[in-house]
């Protein structure tokens, strides 16, 4: 801080200095007074001593002459200093430059019309995006949405029940389908494609025991088949019929056995155009003595003769995801629609599944869900929805840990362990890519979770759509392996 040195004792308007003082004591007094301006600073006692030594008149005359002022140079004004540069209250956060590019892999022509997105599951940052917000067909990745909705609406322990009740006519029993597509005609203790499935021979034994326990009952000769729990068409109009002929999909009915397969021990097996009729005939064969089989409905309040239940929803989700069982996925979607009150036909699936997904807190705007399996080209889900849902799945929110545990794993489990997946250089990602596969004529898809080489957890979805062939699977695997190698350093360029 600069300090001012102005002399406040100098009289205002001071005149020029007087002529030199005469010699002697009085002159010396004048000199002292002029040079040192003691008129106002010298004490009265000291001045009195001077007057006694030199005479009062001389001093009086000297005091009437104003003393010469002492001129003090004005203090120099301080040089202006440069004002400090204003600084922002908060320094801008440093943005890490991500440098690991998969652009060349994403440009593989085998991917056709690529849509993809990758998210850092920990931070929520979108690392890679190619059309990620555009709703498109998903193929069997749709089963992830169906399974998530089933876990939310039905719960992992729900089971579908098939019952037999006494018919209105004498000698009649009614087989009532409860939506269990896994009910099996294989012998109890001998599992077909569905682990934990109920068996017709067990149900028939219950019915025979209950029927014979009442001596008033006439012989059991008539069987009515009630499949009214599901409504509407059995075949979704946008599906290609070759899916049934090639053994990948059945008609959807509330009463069937073994997913309506010709071979109950094979995942891929021809399906008929009458699953209800096949189930009825198999049950009649187990009961014995049946002369007539017909369609109908159970009378209200009829006495129950027997009941068996399906595997749990958790077991069904595992089957739907690990080997991509289409019929089980449709069973789950239809049960969700019924439970939510949306209806019991294909036209109720969209509303039912969306209601089931709503609780996960991921925006479902723009989603179109035509079926539970993903076979339809009319389904529309953006990759961005899947990456956000998979963040919840990776965190095992709610019941979603069941879904995570049911997914295929590269090189180890389910449809990602087949001989044509994650082979060669892509085998480096074995065990680290946990994802649902998808394939229809117009697209191949893969979506799930990657535990990357740098320790980051990524969620991703890849759609290869349009004019694609079987080698799109290898291109998808290579791109996913690129994501695995890059981890959190994955660049969008």
Give Dmax (Cα) for the chain: 165
Judge contact between 226 and 167, C-beta under 8 A.
no
Counting Cα atoms < 13 Å in the Cβ hemisphere of 92 gives 3
Which of 143, 166, 319, 392 is labelled catalytic? 143
The structure tokens listed for 419 are: 């001989």
Across the strands, what pairs with 129? 117
Residue ranges in 176-307 assigned as alpha helix (H): 200-212, 242-245, 275-287
In the block, tokens 């003082």 appear at: 21
- What is the C-alpha separation between 131 and 82, in angstroms, rounded? 53
Angle between helices 326-340 and 349-358 (to 10 degrees): 80
Pairing of strands 304-309, 443-451: unpaired
Q: In terms of Cα–Cα distance, which of 56, 57, 67 is closest to 30? A: 67
Is 324 annotated as catalytic? yes
Between CA 11 and CA 18, with CA 14 as vertex, the angle to 5 degrees is 120
Check residue 424 and give left, alpha or beta (phi > 0: left; psi -120 to 50: alpha).
Answer: left
Judge contact between 422 and 437, C-beta under 8 A.
no
DSSP readout, 153-166? HT-TT---EEEEEE
Which of 136, 140, 147, 250 is labelled catalytic? 140
- Which residues of 10-98 form beta strands (DSSP E)? none
Which of 184, 310, 324, 415 is labelled catalytic? 324
Q: Nearest 5°: phi and psi at 465?
A: -115, 155
Which residues, including other chains, have CB under 8 Å from residue 347's CB and lie 6 or more apart? 232
- What is the C-alpha separation between 123 and 391, in angstroms, rounded? 10
- What is the C-alpha separation between 364 and 382, in angstroms, rounded? 10
Residue 265: other Cβ atoms inside 10 A: 12
Judge contact between 328 and 181, C-beta under 8 A.
yes
Intra-chain end-to-end CA distance of the chain, in Å: 57
Computed on alpha carbons and rounded to an integer, the radius of gyration of the chain in Å comes to 47
Is 143 annotated as catalytic? yes
List Cα–Cα distances, 201 to 177, 261, 354, 381, in angstroms: 16, 18, 38, 42
The structure tokens listed for 434 are: 């946990």
Residue 436: other Cβ atoms inside 10 A: 32
Is 392 annotated as catalytic? no
- What is the C-alpha separation between 409 and 141, in angstroms, rounded? 14
Which residues, including other chains, have CB under 8 Å from residue 492's CB and lie 6 or more apart? 98, 126, 127, 128, 129
**Which residues are marked as active site?**
140, 143, 324
């Amino acid at each position: 801080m600069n300090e001012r040195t102005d002399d406040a004792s100098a009289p205002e308007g001071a005149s020029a200095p007087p002529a030199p003082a005469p010699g002697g004591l009085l002159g010396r007094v004048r000199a002292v007074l002029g040079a040192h301006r003691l008129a106002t600073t010298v004490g009265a006692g000291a001045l009195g001593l001077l007057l006694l030594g030199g005479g009062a008149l001389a001093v009086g005359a000297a005091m009437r002459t104003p003393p010469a002022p002492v001129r003090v140079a004005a203090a120099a004004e301080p040089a202006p200093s440069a004002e400090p540069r204003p600084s922002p209250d908060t320094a801008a956060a440093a943005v890490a430059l991500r440098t690991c590019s998969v652009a060349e892999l994403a440009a593989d022509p085998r991917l056709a019309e690529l849509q993809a997105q990758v998210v850092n599951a920990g931070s929520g940052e979108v690392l890679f995006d190619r059309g990620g917000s555009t709703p498109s067909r998903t193929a069997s990745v749709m089963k992830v949405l169906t399974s998530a909705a089933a876990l939310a609406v039905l719960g992992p322990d729900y089971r579908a029940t098939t019952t037999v009740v006494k018919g209105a006519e004498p000698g009649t029993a009614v087989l009532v389908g409860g939506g269990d597509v896994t009910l099996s005609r294989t012998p109890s203790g001998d599992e077909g494609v569905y682990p934990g499935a109920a068996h017709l021979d067990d149900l028939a034994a219950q019915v025979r025991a209950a029927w014979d326990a009442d001596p008033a009952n006439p012989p059991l000769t008539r069987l009515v088949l009630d499949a009214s729990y599901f409504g509407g068409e059995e075949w979704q109009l946008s599906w290609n019929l070759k899916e049934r002929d090639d053994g990948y999909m059945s008609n959807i009915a509330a009463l069937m056995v073994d997913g309506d397969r010709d071979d109950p021990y094979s995942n891929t097996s021809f399906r008929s155009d009458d699953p209800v009729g096949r189930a009825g005939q198999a049950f009649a064969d187990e009961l014995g003595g049946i002369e007539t089989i017909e369609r109908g409905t159970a009378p209200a309040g009829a006495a129950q003769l027997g009941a068996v239940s399906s595997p749990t929803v958790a077991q069904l989700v595992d089957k739907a995801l690990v080997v991509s069982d289409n019929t089980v996925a449709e069973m789950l979607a239809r049960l969700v629609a019924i439970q939510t009150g949306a209806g019991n036909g294909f036209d109720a699936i969209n509303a039912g599944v969306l209601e089931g997904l709503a609780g996960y807190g991921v925006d479902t705007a723009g989603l179109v869900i035509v079926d539970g399996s993903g076979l339809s080209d009319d389904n529309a889900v953006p990759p961005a929805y899947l990456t956000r849902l998979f963040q919840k799945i990776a965190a095992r929110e709610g019941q979603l840990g069941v879904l995570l545990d049911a997914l295929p794993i590269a090189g180890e489990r389910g449809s990602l362990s087949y001989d044509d997946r994650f082979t060669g250089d892509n085998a480096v990602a074995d065990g680290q890519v946990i994802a649902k596969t998808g394939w229809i004529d117009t697209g191949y898809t893969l979506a799930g979770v990657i535990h990357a080489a740098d320790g980051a957890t990524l969620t991703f979805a890849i759609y290869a759509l349009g004019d694609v062939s079987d080698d799109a699977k290898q291109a998808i695997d290579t791109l996913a392996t690129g994501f695995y190698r890059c981890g959190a350093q994955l660049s969008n360029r």
